Amino acid sequence: MSPCPSPIPPSRKKRGGISATLPERTSRSRLRQEVLVLTEEVKAQKELVKLLQQALAEAQQEKLASSHFLAMSEEEEEDGAEPAHRHCERQVAELSALVEAERGQREALERALAQRDAQVMELQEHARMMMEKNQAKQEVVLRLSQQLAACMDDPHRTVPNSMGDATFSQLQEEIHNLKSSNGGGKLEEYRAACSHTLAPPSPQDDIEAYKIQNKFLNSEIYQLTRLWRKSSEQEKSLMMKCAYLESRNCQTQGRYLGVLRNLQDSKQLDAGQQEVVKSLIQDSVDRDAKDVLKLDPIREYDEYGFKIVPDFEVEDVKLLAKIQALEVRTHNLLRRDQGEGVEGGVSARWARYLSGRPPGGELRLPS
């Protein structure tokens, strides 16, 4: 508020009455205007305060609603996530137990495998020792058998070996000791082996020898057949490659001759150049005539000396198989008829059967 004006002295009222009223009016009007402006500002501030209070109330309501919604959503998430979490925990526990069981089983298998390897090594070592011991016993038994055979031929003769002057009785005593130490079986085996080697070869031995020889020859034939097939395939591939290269060479040569022919027919060349082109064409033709590849597709034997079997069709192979089957059957029938020479052939058997059949009886084929 502006300070109030001081009272005017009475001596001056009369002199300045008209001049004093003008500033007073102006100040009053200015004050009124200021009051109006301040009143408007106060009203605006009050409206602003009301708006702010309303906004604050709305914000508080929204905050309460959002907090309530968040609380409800968190409760729902906790209620829904707890069973899933428990299920995951159960699965993890089950998987952990399964892994532990598998680990224990693997460790047990590893221990069993280690024990099995140790047992196998022990058995191998024991088998090796037994084989060495058996071989030593076999050598001793063979030597004693030879000495025994020599003493039986000449009982009064001593055997000159590492045993010194061992007589026939000493040899028998050693053989008896060897029999008591599980060597009798080996002694009998070696005696049988010695007698078998001294005996003449039997037909069974010849059959076994022929079987072994047949196996060896079959393996050799198989290897040679593989080599022959491989060489035949290589020959076919080389023939195809050679034909392809020959065709390519002919194409290139034809193009070359065509170019030379065009050069020869062109009028831009002089006589000397045309002669050169003509000589090139003649040389190329002569060289082609000399380099013609002569192939012999019909051969009876391959490079290994085997006869080349022609490629038959499936129908031809089936026909050949039928013919061979008929030939085998005919051969068997002929052999049977020859074996039954006393009784006669098939016709004689039928004649005897028909002559001996009662009239009206059932016809039963002879076996």
Task: Count other C-beta atoms under 10 Å from residue 344's C-beta.
Answer: 13
In which residue are the tokens 């047990």 written?
108
What is the chain's length?
367
**Displacement of CA 349 from its chain's centroid (Å):** 66
> Average model confidence (pLDDT) for the chain?
70
pLDDT, position 160: 47
Is the confidence at residue 291, as pLDDT, over 70? no
Q: Which of 147, 184, 181 is nearest to 167 (CA)?
A: 147
Task: Count other C-beta atoms under 10 Å from residue 175's C-beta.
Answer: 19
User: Which span out of 116-130, 236-250, 296-310 was modeled with the highest average pLDDT?
Assistant: 116-130
For residues 10-18, average pLDDT: 49
Q: What is the DSSP letter of 309?
A: P
* Contact of 304 with 231, CB cutoff 8 Å: yes
Q: What is the DSSP letter of 179?
A: I
Task: Count other C-beta atoms under 10 Å from residue 260's C-beta.
Answer: 17
Confidence class for position 216, pLDDT limits 50, 70, 90? confident
Whether 20 maps to a domain, the answer reads: no
Q: Are residues 140 and 188 in the same domain?
A: yes
Whether 146 maps to a domain, the answer reads: yes
For residues 92-112, average pLDDT: 87
Q: Are residues 301 and 230 in the same domain?
A: yes
pLDDT, position 351: 60
Q: Are residues 117 and 49 in the same domain?
A: yes
Q: Are residues 229 and 244 in the same domain?
A: yes
Confidence class for position 342, pLDDT limits 50, 70, 90? very low
Distance (Å, rounded) from C-alpha 254 to C-alpha 247?
A: 10
Based on DSSP, count helices (H) and strands (E) in the chain, helices before strands: 8, 0
For residues 275-286, average pLDDT: 77
Is the confidence at residue 132, as pLDDT, over 80? yes
164 beta partners: 161
Q: Which of 97, 119, 94, 92 is nearest to 105 (CA)?
A: 97
Which residue among 68, 93, 128 closes a domain? 128
Q: Are residues 141 and 188 in the same domain?
A: yes
Q: Are residues 141 and 179 in the same domain?
A: yes
Task: Count other C-beta atoms under 10 Å from residue 278's C-beta.
Answer: 14
Whether 16 maps to a domain, the answer reads: no
Q: Which uninterrupted H or E stretch holds 234?
A: helix 203-265
Which of 7-11, 118-122, 300-304 has the least mean pLDDT? Answer: 7-11
* Contact of 151 with 157, CB cutoff 8 Å: yes
- Classify 270 as helix, strand or coil: coil
Confidence class for position 184, pLDDT limits 50, 70, 90? very low
Phi and psi at 362, nearest 5°, equal -70, 145
Domain span including residue 278: 225-306
Which of 80-89, 177-186, 243-252, 264-273 has the least mean pLDDT? Answer: 177-186
pLDDT, position 171: 53
pLDDT, position 176: 58
For residues 274-303, average pLDDT: 65
Which of 103-107, 141-145, 177-181 has the least mean pLDDT? Answer: 177-181
Percent of the chain past pLDDT 70, that is, above it, reads 59
- Summarised one tens digit per residue, pLDDT across range 188-214 is 554 554 444 444 456 677 777 777 877
pLDDT, position 273: 76
Whether 293 maps to a domain, the answer reads: yes
Q: Are residues 102 and 169 in the same domain?
A: no
Q: Are residues 196 and 114 in the same domain?
A: no
Q: Tokens representing 270?
A: 């002089």
Q: Are residues 240 and 167 in the same domain?
A: no
Q: Are residues 113 and 179 in the same domain?
A: no
Whether 321 maps to a domain, the answer reads: no
Q: Tokens representing 337?
A: 């008829």
Q: Are residues 233 and 300 in the same domain?
A: yes
List CB contacts of 157: < 8 A, sequence separation 6 or more. 150, 151
Whether 14 maps to a domain, the answer reads: no
Q: How many domains does the chain have?
A: 3
Percent of the chain past pLDDT 90, that is, above it, reads 0
Whether 320 maps to a domain, the answer reads: no
Comparing 205 with 53, the larger pLDDT belongs to 53
| DSSP string for 186-199 | HHHHHHHHHHHHHS
Which residue among 106, 128, 150 closes a domain? 128
Whether 361 maps to a domain, the answer reads: no
pLDDT, position 128: 87
For residues 62-78, average pLDDT: 78
Instruction: Give the number of C-alpha atoms closer than 13 A to the C-alpha of residue 317, restricted to the C-beta side.
Output: 6
* Contact of 20 with 8, CB cutoff 8 Å: yes
Confidence class for position 348, pLDDT limits 50, 70, 90? low
Angle of helix 184-198 relative to helix 168-178, nearest 10 degrees? 120
Phi and psi at 363, nearest 5°, equal -90, 115
Q: Are residues 186 and 238 in the same domain?
A: no
Distance (Å, rounded) from C-alpha 354 to C-alpha 348?
A: 10
Q: How far is CA 116 from CA 119, 123, 204, 353, in A?
A: 5, 10, 44, 74
